[in-house]
Structure 1
Amino acid sequence: MNDRPDTAAIRDGLGGGVIAVLRRILSENGRAYAWHYAITIVCLVLIGMTTAFVAWITRDVVDEIFVRQRGDLIIIITGTVIGVFLLRGIAMYVQAVVLARIGNDLVARYQSRVFDKLMKLGIGYFTEARSGHLSARIAENVNGIRDVLSLTLTALGRDLISLIGLLVVMVTMDPMLSLIVFSVAPILILAVAWVSARIRNVVRETVELNARVVGTMQEAVQGITVVKAFTMEERLGARIGAIIDDARSKADRLAGIIERVNPAAEVFAGLAVAGVIAYAGLRAVNEGQPPGATFAFITALLLAADPARRLGQLKVNLEKSMVNARMIYEILDMPERQSDRADAAPLTITEGGVRFEDVDFAYGDGTKVLHGLTFAAPAHKTTAIVGPSGAGKTTIIALLQRFYDIDAGRIEIDGQDIAGVTLSSLRGQMAFVSQQPYLFEGTIRQNIGYGRPDATDAEIEAAARQANAHDFIMEQAQGYDTPVGENGVTLSGGQRQRISIARAIVRDAPILLLDEATSALDNESEKLVQQALEDVMAGRTTIVIAHRLSTIVSADRIVVMDKGEVVETGTHAELASRKGGLYAKLNMLGAGTDPDAAEPIMETDA
């Protein structure tokens, strides 16, 4: 019901290990980038081979040019060196550009996949996840997929081949010196294994804390008017400061763990170089060996230090990237609790009658909201749902759109159980106006047009006129093409609500859902919009949640709810005259005896 992930199970499903995640990434993306990878690998192999060649040719440079003083070889050797470095430079450029393009495309691909997944998840997931934290986490984690592949390719294609080539040069030049070097290699291997075993949990904690920092900042910016109105700057500053300090502490700890590999690598290099110099020096002094092979060996050893260090840190760096990759897959692997059934059919609207029959429902925390709820909203009529706060009114609107699945009972439209129809066809037959209007990035015209993709400019403007929005829209700097700012921050609450109503009007759906649609409007605007809504409601099945008499009195049917149950139904006149009834009591408390009063008679659900 709530799309809440079992993260431990998801991590287990990924296999947990580096190889399992890497295999999955390659299986999902390898075919699409096969030629790119082939070009990159060829370039990386060339880089590795040219690196080994530089070490190998050092022997000839020393022995043939400096010891034997063969001037005829100077042009050949120097020309060869220039050609090798030119080839190396071209290969480095090509592999860097191709890898960058693959990485950028991978990031874009996974961003699209994550967004598509989020759009398929139920409302329950988003009621529990903080939007700022979620977006920050995704922004940080999505790079993990790219980094995993880049690290793997460069490690195997460049560093491993370079190291193998240089080791071959070392063994060729002097097997005994090579044995000295290999004897101290276990020090580096043990150090890397020790660091890798400690890095995974610290990386995950660091990622989560960084996401909290960005998310908290985003939320503070979004609610800046409340922050300043309640002088919350210092309190929020202290709160985010604590999170930042915690994130910095974790990052410092992570850096300390990762960098512990370097002392081991330096010790390894120092012992190896010292051993080589001591052995080669004694042999040169005692046996008169020419220095070319020794110089070539030392060159190969020094050149091998960087690829050996990178390969030594590969496991550590992969663990960092794998944490991000796993967290992305946790989202992608999250079960879609509200996906269509295998036999789901499109909803067919003939009349538009709605019926709730013995519906039970509880949210994720187990608190039951509806108990055997039964009522009907006749086709082409307006049904108002009223009741005290917590009665379950807004929940009815959410269930009718299948934002959540019910625990028991049936919800029908024209006799069709909505659990057995496709979600797109169900929601496509409804227009919804929330009590909290939301506008998206873009222009006013685009925000109204979201109601129906094929709506023309004329239809958008006609809808705005009906919603009493046209006049204030034309007063904006660019009229209908004025950007609305983040969530319509440049507009008043009433203006945002009227744009939201225009969006519902342009949808032209047979079922209209109004959840406190006029709650953000002043009395004058409310009357004008109410008149527009009455025109729109004509001939449609309308379910309206409201607490103002001006919205309720004209309803064809009023359903009175209390504690998740229907306690009364009837018209305004019938219910208002029913002595001892809940509606009559709330009516008298809120509006006295004046049926045209606009004061609230009952609060809405949160």
Structure 2
Amino acid sequence: MKVGTADETGRAFLKAASEKKQHVGSETVVSVLKRVIAENGRDHIRGYVFAILCLIVVALSTAFTAWIMESVVNEAFANRRADVVWLICGAILAAFVLRGFATYGQAVTLSKIGNNIVARYQRRLYSHLMTLSVGFFAEARSAHLAAQVSQNVAGIRDVLNLTVTSTARDLLTLISLIGVMVSKDWVLSLIVFAVAPPLLYALRYVSRRLRAATRESVEVNSRVLGAMQETIQGIAVVKAFTMEQELERKVNGIIDTAERRANRIARLSERTSPLTETFAGFAISSVLAYAAFRSIYDGVPPGAFFAFVTALLLAYDPARRLAKLQVQIDRAVVNAQMIYALLDMQPAQRERPGAKDLTVTDARVELKGVTFSYASGAPILRDVHIVAEGGQTTALVGQSGAGKSTIINLIPRFYDPTEGQILIDGQDIAGVTKASLRHQLAYVSQQPYLFEGTIRDNIRYGRPDATDEEVETAARLAYAHDFILAQPFGYETPVGENGVTLSGGQRQRLSIARALVRNAPILLLDEATSALDNESEAAVQKALDTAMRGRTVIVIAHRLSTVVKADKIVVMHEGRVMEEGTHEVLAQRKDGLYARLNNLQSRENSI
């Protein structure tokens, strides 16, 4: 089986998944099955052995029911032996009771194993997603990705369970019933087998047609779920711009496509019904005609005939399930392949061999000749040289698209530079472990994100081992303590999805408190006040002033008034450093870029 190669974009994952879906043949089914067994078989060997034993009991008890029909008919109705009838009835009752308990045992066992496999792969997927780069998530639509993962993770479980149930129950049941049929009347068995090859050929043709339809259905259904999730997440924008009808038309179009795919699958799947029913009707009518003539003209007792017919009828269900098995396996393999395409993707920012932990002393950050471009696009940064001295504030200013946020993204190694180095206290961050690097950083974005849970939980994400006292101290420093106490349950108040119950300024101050409780020596601020009103900005700016004390701060400023006290201001334009200096020095330079930006904002504020 082909596996995903190292790639840093979500586009690569989607391409890899698409390529995998194009080749679902017998080799692929076998290779996926081998991998699933290798990853899960040993941990569940006892459960599968027990389930298989139960399924064997089900198969043998079913065959026994057909086999004993000869004795029922001959001894009860032909010979009229009452003493034997009681034994026969007792044996039949015991067989059904045994089959009932065996069915229950295998169903519960396989369900527990299946649920464990789903949970295991959900944990693996989440853990693996955490290792992938920010670039991956920038390319892969989150709603689409989440929908595909939730829809496809059950494919791993189905590959195993379908194989076990089909082999141990359906195949063994069918083989044992065929054995009963042959033992009772081999001529009748030949009549049945004569019409089987055309049926199998027809079912194989239908199965091949179903593969493509199944792949399309998986993709379209994930688009339906993804579109709905996106609408829910952006419901405020949807309503503000009265997008309901337009989005409804869009989603309805996707749903219509999904419905057509589902209807096509239903038509193809159910084509097996007329095929199998026709086969069963022809076989049974032929058997009845042959047996009737033998009984009428040759005086053959009917017991063997009834046992044969019983075995034939009982063999119908497992044969029908086995006929549909390839379709079900193909569908499960398609799902499993998409999961493995994601699991096999290697993180773009992998640790170098022998990577050491970052040791921070002065917290001096230096960019040396850094050039960077996203994917194969034009360079965003061009030969950038910046030094952020330890314990000082360095502000990055410039027009949109100048490359300021890109620098903030490079320092935590969300991306790696195309050329050049980023050094912290002289250590190249590409040669240290990502965990040790990011433990020395605290980050506040212009769009703070809060997670499901309480206010206390969200602040403590900055440092999970922080005490309640440390959490509350950080909240006080972030000027968040008072509004937190005003909430219905104080620090234990649930924040809702992404802090929907809080204002923008409140969410931003919680984000700052989260950065403060981390107590990291380097603080990254990405336009932390640009989206706030004046009152909220004033409160957040107080919190930022507290957060910046004694730390190396790299701040992106939208409003120049927020960085006039910075130790150094770096002016950027089209990915290059144009000017450096303090506010006083840069503002006095005639025709300087910073001076023009400062004068422009001063005029806007005076209007």
TM range (shorter): over 0.9
Q: Which residue of 1 aligns with 2:9?
A: 2
* CA distance in 1: counterparts of 2:111 and 2:57, whole angstroms: 18
Partner SS, residue 425 of structure 1: helix
Contact 1:192–1:316 (CA<8 Å) still a contact in 2? no
* CA distance in 1: counterparts of 2:606 and 2:433, whole angstroms: 40
Q: Which residue of 1 aligns with 2:569?
A: 558
| CA displacement 1:286-325 (0-9 Å, x = unmatched) | 1000000000000000000000111111101111111111
Moved more, 213-222 or 82-91: 213-222
Residue 405 (str. 1) matches residue 416 (str. 2): yes
Contact 1:460–1:506 (CA<8 Å) still a contact in 2? yes
Moved more, 169-178 or 522-531: 522-531
Residue 13 of structure 1, CA deviation: 10
* CA distance in 1: counterparts of 2:23 and 2:214, whole angstroms: 20
Contact 1:548–1:598 (CA<8 Å) still a contact in 2? no
Residue 253 (str. 1) matches residue 264 (str. 2): yes
Structure 2 matches for 1:437-456, cutoff 5 A?
Answer: 437-456=448-467
Residue 51 of structure 1, CA deviation: 0.4
Say if 1:14 and 1:109 are closer, same or farther in 2 by CA, change over 3 A.
Answer: farther
Say if 1:598 and 1:191 are closer, same or farther in 2 by CA, change over 3 A.
Answer: farther
Contact 1:14–1:326 (CA<8 Å) still a contact in 2? no
Contact 1:497–1:521 (CA<8 Å) still a contact in 2? no
Contact 1:14–1:21 (CA<8 Å) still a contact in 2? no
Partner SS, residue 368 of structure 1: coil
Given candidates 369, 383, 406, the residue that maps to 1:358 is 369
Q: Which residue of 2 aligns with 1:341?
A: 352
- The AA in structure 2 aligned to 1:164 is I
Structure 2 matches for 1:349-498, cutoff 5 A?
Answer: 349-498=360-509
Moved more, 540-549 or 176-185: 540-549
Residue 270 (str. 1) matches residue 281 (str. 2): yes
Residue 535 of structure 1, CA deviation: 2.7
Q: Which residue of 2 aligns with 1:232?
A: 243
Contact 1:466–1:529 (CA<8 Å) still a contact in 2? no
Identity of aligned residues (%): 56
Contact 1:11–1:330 (CA<8 Å) still a contact in 2? no
Contact 1:550–1:598 (CA<8 Å) still a contact in 2? no
| CA displacement 1:52-90 (0-9 Å, x = unmatched) | 000000000001111011111011111111111110000
- Structure 1 residue runs without a partner (length 5+): 600-606
Q: Which residue of 1 aligns with 2:87?
A: 76
Residue 189 (str. 1) matches residue 196 (str. 2): no
Given candidates 163, 173, 185, the residue that maps to 1:174 is 185
Partner SS, residue 386 of structure 2: strand
Given candidates 520, 525, 548, the residue that maps to 1:514 is 525
* CA distance in 2: counterparts of 1:539 and 1:477, whole angstroms: 35
Contact 2:505–2:537 (CA<8 Å) still a contact in 1? no
Q: Count matched residues.
A: 596
- The AA in structure 1 aligned to 2:139 is E
Q: TM-score, normalised by structure 2?
A: 0.96
Q: Which residue of 2 aligns with 1:132?
A: 143
- The AA in structure 1 aligned to 2:253 is A
- The AA in structure 2 aligned to 1:2 is T
Q: Which residue of 2 aligns with 1:604?
A: none
Contact 1:398–1:404 (CA<8 Å) still a contact in 2? yes
Residue 11 of structure 1, CA deviation: 6.2
Moved more, 96-105 or 6-15: 6-15
* CA distance in 2: counterparts of 1:478 and 1:365, whole angstroms: 50
* CA distance in 1: counterparts of 2:384 and 2:137, whole angstroms: 26
Q: Which residue of 2 aligns with 1:603?
A: none
* CA distance in 1: counterparts of 2:117 and 2:456, whole angstroms: 33
Q: TM-score, normalised by structure 1?
A: 0.96
Say if 1:478 and 1:14 are closer, same or farther in 2 by CA, change over 3 A.
Answer: farther
- Structure 2 residue runs without a partner (length 5+): 1-7
* CA distance in 1: counterparts of 2:158 and 2:266, whole angstroms: 18
| CA displacement 1:170-223 (0-9 Å, x = unmatched) | 000000000000000112211221122122221121111111111111111111
- The AA in structure 2 aligned to 1:413 is I
Q: Which residue of 1 aligns with 2:538?
A: 527
4+ residue stretches of structure 1 with deviation over 3 A?
8-16
* CA distance in 2: counterparts of 1:338 and 1:199, whole angstroms: 40
Residue 238 of structure 1, CA deviation: 0.7
Residue 550 of structure 1, CA deviation: 3.0
Say if 1:401 and 1:13 are closer, same or farther in 2 by CA, change over 3 A.
Answer: farther
Residue 522 of structure 1, CA deviation: 2.9
Partner SS, residue 451 of structure 2: coil
Partner SS, residue 61 of structure 1: helix
- The AA in structure 2 aligned to 1:39 is F
